[in-house]
Amino acid sequence: MMQQVSSDPLLKVENLVVEYSVGGKTIHAVSDVSLEIARGETLGLVGESGCGKSTLGRAVLQLRQAVSGTVLFDGHDLAAMQGDSLRKMRRRVQLIFQDPIASLNPRRRIGDIVAEPLVISGVKDPNKRKQIVSDVLSAVGLDPALVSGRLPHEFSGGQCQRICIARALVLNPEFIICDEPVSALDVSIRAQILNLLEEMKTRYGLTLLFIAHDLAVVKAVSDRVAVMYLGRLCEVGPSEQLFATPAHPYTALLIEAIPVPDPDIRPTQSIPVGEPPSPIAPPSGCRFRTRCPRADARCASEVPELRMVAPRQFAACHHPLI
């Protein structure tokens, strides 16, 4: 494996392909993606909407069927698992969603919602459940006595996201997939949730896959960052290195597009006019070529392979910037 990060990665995705049809048309959501996440690491996954990053997250959890490829979690092939063993494995992997309010059942009380994973995994003793729930609610900064009996609509978005994090933590998982956990939240609340995730990561010894469209947010929490474009991986590398010296023109474009809160930096106007093509009919060769300033004939005919451009940094580009 070229982008091997450790000898014993917790999650290893190999040549994953996910396609699904909408209205008779095939959407190439994830095309031939390979990734590794080491134990205790946070991998940030960025890309624009429709690039397949959420689909990738769900395919890892087997919530979406892959067309081909393997997902190895702790050495076990998740796709080959079924029924009980898959359910057991899922308890080690949890998911946090973008819309915290929609991910809580509006008719169940917070105490029940957070206890649900325990019930499913067979913790029979209600007192023990209550104890675990109240521990984990306190850990995410909520008062169990005040919160347990209430319904989700009584809470703000930020508090609901805390509850979702509590639910994800209650089974003591090893791996959490955070799918845009802060993009629905206000700036002031966003920082609270990001800090909380970081704190929980150290406290519970978690490994995170952090999916987001906001590069600045991803950089704040990730050890390594993977950039996705139209279902393909463009670039993978250590966060700081990737931001300092992006190799893929798309990564560079994304970094350039971030609005900087500094009035002295006049926004540059070099961003090409153009929009991502449809994932129904992605361009041939390199999928970014239609918006890429460096594209040439080779980019149209040949799919670029992910290759090493610097130590630990990999890019899928025929004309990398470094």
Partner 1 sequence: MATLELALEDEAGATPAGRRRRLGTLFWIAIGWMALVFAVAIFADLLPLPSPTDMDMLERRAPISAEHWLGTDGLGRDELSRLIYGARISLIVGLCAPVIGVTIGGALGMLAGYFRGRFESFVVGSMDVLLAFPPLILALAVTAYLGQSIFNLTCILGVLGIPAFMRVARAATLSLARREFVIAAQALGATHTRILLRELLPNVLLPLLAFFLLGVAVTIVVEGSLSFLGLGVPPPISSWGSMIGEGRESLDVAPQLAFIPAIAMFLTVLSFNLIGDTIRALTDPRQGAL
Partner 2 sequence: MSGVLLSVEDAVVDLPTPRGNLRAVDHVDLAVDAGKTLGIVGESGCGKTMLSRTILQLLPKKAKLSGRVMFDGQDLLKLSPEKLRKLRGRSLAVVFQDPMTSLNPVLTIGTQLIETIQEHLELGLAQARQRSIELLAAVGIPAPEQRLAQYPHQLSGGMRQRVAIAVALSCEPQLLIADEPTTALDVTIQAQILDLLAREQQRRHMAMIIITHDLGVVAGRTDEVAVMYAGRVVERAPTPLLFKQMRMPYTEALLAALPKLDAAPHTPLPAISGRPPDQTRPLKGCSFSPRCRYAAGRCNTEKPSLRAEAPQHFYACFHPIAAGVDA
Residue ranges binding partner 2 (CB under 8 A) = 42, 48-49, 156, 158-159, 186-192, 194-195, 198, 213-217, 219-223, 239-240, 243, 253-267, 269, 271, 273, 275-276
297, burial (CB in 10 Å: exposed 0-12, middle 13-18, buried 19+): exposed
What is the nearest approach in angstroms of partner 2 to the Cβ of residue 70?
29
Interacting positions 183-242 with partner 1 (CB under 8 A)? 191-192, 195-196, 199
Which one of partner 2, partner 1, none is in contact with 271 (Cβ closer than 5 to 8 A by kind)?
partner 2
Count the Cβ atoms, other than its own, within 10 Å of residue 251: 27
314 neighbors 224 (Cβ within 8 angstroms):
no
Distances (CA, A) of 115 to 28, 96, 109, 148, 152: 37, 16, 10, 10, 14
Token digits for 87? 């359910």
Question: Which amino acid belongs to residue 298?
Answer: R
In the bound state with partner 2, the residue whose beta carbon lies nearer, of 75 and 106, is 106
Cβ 166 to partner 2, closest distance in Å? 17
Distance CA 38, CA 171 (A): 21
Of 26 and 156, which has the nearer Cβ to partner 2?
Answer: 156
**Sheet-wide strand order for 42-46:** 93-96, 175-179, 207-212, 42-46, 224-229, 232-238, 313-315, 307-310
Q: Which of 3, 94, 222, 313 lies at the binding interface for partner 1 (CB under 8 A)?
A: 94
45 is an interface residue for partner 1 by CB under 8 A: no
Q: Return the one option of partner 2, partner 1, none that residue 308 interacts with (CB less than 5 to 8 A, by type).
A: none
Pick the closer one to partner 1 by CB: 9 or 173.
173
Nearer to partner 1, 5 or 168 (CB): 168
Reduce the DSSP state of residue 177 to 3 states and report it. strand
Residue 18 or 227 having the CB closest to partner 1 = 18
Does residue number 65 form part of the binding site for partner 1 (CB under 8 A)?
A: no
Site residues for partner 1, window 126-165 (CB under 8 A)? 140-143, 146-147, 151-156, 159, 164
Minimum Å gap between C-beta 116 and partner 1 is 7
Distance between CA atoms of residues 27 and 23, nearest Å: 10
Sequence-ordered list of residues with C-beta below 8 angstroms from that of 296, at least 6 positions apart, any chain: 318, 319
With binding defined as CB under 8 A, does residue 298 bind partner 1?
Answer: no
175: left (phi over 0), alpha (psi -120 to 50) or beta: beta
Q: Does 52 bind partner 1 (CB under 8 A)?
A: no
Spatial neighbors of 77 by CB under 8 A, at least 6 apart, are: 70, 71
Site for partner 1, rule CB under 8 A: 58, 61, 63, 86-88, 90-91, 93-95, 97-99, 102-108, 116-117, 120-121, 140-143, 146-147, 151-156, 159, 164, 167, 171, 191-192, 195-196, 199
